Structure 1
Amino acid sequence: MTVYLLRRILQSLMVLLAMSVIVFVGVYAIGDPVEILISPDADQMERERAIAALGLDLPLWQQYLVFLQNALRGDLGRSFVFNEPALQLILNRMPATLELAFGAMFLSVLIGLPLGLYAGLKPDSVGSRVIMAGSILGFSLPTFWVGLMLIMVFAVQLGWLPSSGRGETVQILGLHWSFLTANGWMHLAMPAFNLALFKISLVIRLTRSGVREAMLMDYVKFARAKGLSPTRVTFVHVFKNILIPVVTVVGLELGSTIAFSVVTETVFAWPGMGKLIIDSINVLDRPVIVAYLMVIVLMFITINLIVDILYSVLDPRVRLESKA
C-alpha cells in the first residue's frame, strides 16, 4: 500500500509538471491582456511600465521559470485585475463551488440509485420505462436551457425559490458556507439540481445495467435457492456488488462536476470558481486562469487516488500493489 501511494504521488507530481507547461504556454500564448488592462490613452512610457510591473516583458520561458519558482512556494501569481494572490481568489470562491458540486452529486446518488434499482428489478414495468425515458431526457437537455426553465417556473411564476446568488452564509475557519443556513439551502436547490440532472441519468443507467447483470449471477441464484427473502437478496447480494462501478464513476464524475460547473454558476449567478474563471477569461487575467486550471488538475488527481483506494476496499479482489 505504501509503495503504491508513493508511486502514485510521484506520477501525480509528473502530471502536475506536464500540465503546468501545457497550461502556462497555452494561456500565455493567446491574447494580450495589456490591450484590455491599460487605458488606450496611455503613452508608450506608461505602457512599458505597466508591462514590466506585470512581468510580461520577459520571454515566455523566463516567465514560466518565474511561475514555477513561485509555485513551489505556494504562490501561483497575482491577479492583474484584483491585484490579489490568484490562489487566494480561487480559495475564497472554492467553498461555493464545492457546495454546488457535492450537492449535485448527493442528489444524483439520492435520486439515481433508487430509480436505477427499481428499473433494474422491474425492467418491463411502466415505471421502469418512464424512468429510462426520463434518463434519456436528462442526457439530452442542455444545462443552460434547463437552468433557465427552472428559474422561469420556480422563481418567476411560483416564487418558491430565489433565482440567483448564494444566500446567507456562515463563516467557519475563515471560509463562508451557505449550506449551514436555511436560506442557503433555498438558493442551492435549483443550481444543484440543474448540475445534477446529467449525473442522475448516468447513475440511473449505470445502476440499472449493474442490477440486470447481477441478477443473472450464480451467487444471486444460490441466495434465492437458500430461501432468502427478496429484500435480503437485493440489498445484501445485489446492491453491494453494483456499488463498485457506481462509486468509481461517481468519484470520477465529481472532478468533472467541479470543473464544468461554469454554465450552472453563470446561469444562476452562483459566486463560485466557475464564474470567476469566466470573468477572468473576459479580461485575460492570466494568473487567475493558470491558477484555476492547476487547482482543477490537482483536484482530479486527488479524487482519482481516493477512488482507487475506495475501489480496493469495496472489492477485495482488487489489489493496489502488484505482486512480484
Structure 2
Amino acid sequence: MSVYLLRRLIQALGVVLVMSLIVFIGVFAIGDPVEILISPDADQIERERAIVALGLDKPLWLQYLSFLGNALRGDLGRSFVFNEPALQLILNRMPATLELAFGAMFLALLVGLPLGLYAGLKPNSPVSKGIMAGSILGFSLPTFWVGLMLIMVFAVQLGWLPSTGRGETREILGMRWSFLTRDGLAHMAMPALNLALFKISLVIRLTRAGVRETMLMDYVKFARAKGLSPARVTFVHVFKNILIPVVTVVGLELGSTIAFSVVTESVFAWPGMGKLIIDSINVLDRPVIVAYLMIIVLMFITINLVVDLTYSVLDPRVRLEGK
C-alpha cells in the first residue's frame, strides 16, 4: 500500500505541474486585463504604470516561473480586482460550493440507490418502469430551466422556500456553513436538489444495471440455493458487489459537481466558487482564474486517490499494489 501511495503521489505531482503550465498559458493567452481594468481616458504613462504593477511587463515564461515559485509557498497571486490574495478569495467561497456539492451527492445516493435497487430487483413492474422514465427526464431537462421552475413553484407560488442567497450561517473551524442552521438549510434545499437531479438519474441507472448483472452470477444463485433470505442475498451478496462502479462514478461526479456548479450558483445567486469564477472571467482577473483551476485540479486528483483506496475496502479482492 505504501508503494502504491508513493507512486500515486509522484504521478499526482507530475499531473499538477503539467496542468499548471497548460492552465497558465491558456489563461494568459486570452485578452488583456488592462483594457478592462484601466479607464479608457488614462494616458500612456498611467497604462504603463498599471502594467508594471500587475506584473504583465515580464515575458510569459518568467511570469510562469514566478507563479510556480510563489505557488510552492502557498501564494497563488493577488486578485487584480479585489487586491486580495486569490487563494484567500477562493477559500472564502469554497465552503458554500462544497456544502452544495456534498448535499447534492448525498441526495443522489439517498434517493438513487434505493430506487435503482428496486428497479433492478423488479424490472418489469410498473413502478420500476416509472422510475426509469423519471431517470430519463433527470438526464434530459436543462439545469437552468429546472432551477427557474423550482424558484417559480416553491418560492414564488407556494412561498415555502427562499429563492436566492445562502441564508443564516454558523462558523466552524474558521469557515461559515449554511447546513448548520434551519434558515441555511431552507436556502440550500432548492439549489442542492437542482444540482442533484442529474446525479440521481445516473445513480439509479448504474445501480439498476449492476443489480441486473449481479443477479445472474453463480454466487447469488448459490446463496439462494442455500436458503438465505431475499434481504440477506440482496444486501450482502448483491448490494456490496455493485458499489465499486457506483463509488467510481460518484467520486468523479463529485469533482465535476464542485467544478461545474456554476449554472446552479448563478440561478440561485449562491455565493460559491462558481459565481466567483464567472465574475473573474468577465473582468479577466487572471490570478483568481488560475488559482481556481489549480484548486479544482488538486480536488480531482485527491478524489480519484480516495476512490482508488476505497476499492480495497469495498472488495478485498481488489489489490492496489502492483508487482
TM-score range, shorter chain: over 0.9
- Find the residue that maps to 1:176 and give its secondary structure: strand
| Paired AA for residue 146 in structure 1 | V
The structural deviation recorded for 1:59 is 1.0
Please give the per-residue CA displacement for 1:129-162, whole angstroms capped at 9, x wherever unaligned. Answer: 0000000010111100110110010001100001
Unaligned runs of 5+ in 2: none
- Find the residue that maps to 1:128 and give its secondary structure: helix
Matched, 1:10 2:10: yes
Aligned counterparts, 1:61-76, within 5 A: 61-76=61-76
The structural deviation recorded for 1:236 is 1.2
| Aligned equivalents of 1:205, 1:33: Cα separation in 2 | 45
Aligned counterparts, 1:53-64, within 5 A: 53-64=53-64
| Paired AA for residue 297 in structure 2 | V
Please give the per-residue CA displacement for 1:245-294, whole angstroms capped at 9, x wherever unaligned. Answer: 11111111110110010110010000000000000000000000000000
- Find the residue that maps to 2:239 and give its secondary structure: helix
| Aligned equivalents of 1:244, 1:64: Cα separation in 2 | 40
Please give the per-residue CA displacement for 1:161-214, whole angstroms capped at 9, x wherever unaligned. Answer: 011000000011211111100001001100001001100000000000011011
What does residue 272 of structure 1 align with?
272
Please give the per-residue CA displacement for 1:279-322, whole angstroms capped at 9, x wherever unaligned. Answer: 00000000000000000000000000000000121111211111
| Aligned equivalents of 1:290, 1:244: Cα separation in 2 | 33
Matched, 1:157 2:151: no
| Paired AA for residue 104 in structure 2 | A
What does residue 130 of structure 2 align with?
130
| Aligned equivalents of 2:148, 2:294: Cα separation in 1 | 31
Aligned counterparts, 1:7-86, within 5 A: 7-86=7-86
- Find the residue that maps to 1:232 and give its secondary structure: helix
Please give the per-residue CA displacement for 1:196-251, whole angstroms capped at 9, x wherever unaligned. Answer: 11000000000000110111111111111111111111111111111121111111
What does residue 294 of structure 2 align with?
294
What does residue 308 of structure 1 align with?
308
Aligned counterparts, 1:246-265, within 5 A: 246-265=246-265
Aligned counterparts, 1:126-205, within 5 A: 126-205=126-205
| Aligned equivalents of 1:206, 1:76: Cα separation in 2 | 39
| Aligned equivalents of 1:244, 1:255: Cα separation in 2 | 17
| Aligned equivalents of 2:5, 2:223: Cα separation in 1 | 37
Please give the per-residue CA displacement for 1:90-117, whole angstroms capped at 9, x wherever unaligned. Answer: 0000000000000000000000001000
| Aligned equivalents of 1:15, 1:115: Cα separation in 2 | 38
CA RMSD of aligned residues (A): 0.6
The structural deviation recorded for 1:61 is 0.8
TM-score between both structures, scaled by the size of structure 1 = 0.99
| Aligned equivalents of 1:73, 1:267: Cα separation in 2 | 36
Tell me the matched-pair count: 323
| Percent identity of equivalent pairs | 86
- Find the residue that maps to 1:56 and give its secondary structure: coil
Q: Which runs of 4+ in 1 moved over 6 A?
A: none
- Find the residue that maps to 2:227 and give its secondary structure: coil
The structural deviation recorded for 1:12 is 0.5
What does residue 282 of structure 2 align with?
282
The structural deviation recorded for 1:16 is 0.4
Unaligned runs of 5+ in 1: none
| Aligned equivalents of 2:174, 2:111: Cα separation in 1 | 33
Aligned counterparts, 1:198-213, within 5 A: 198-213=198-213
| Aligned equivalents of 1:12, 1:39: Cα separation in 2 | 42
Please give the per-residue CA displacement for 1:6-25, whole angstroms capped at 9, x wherever unaligned. Answer: 11111101000000000000
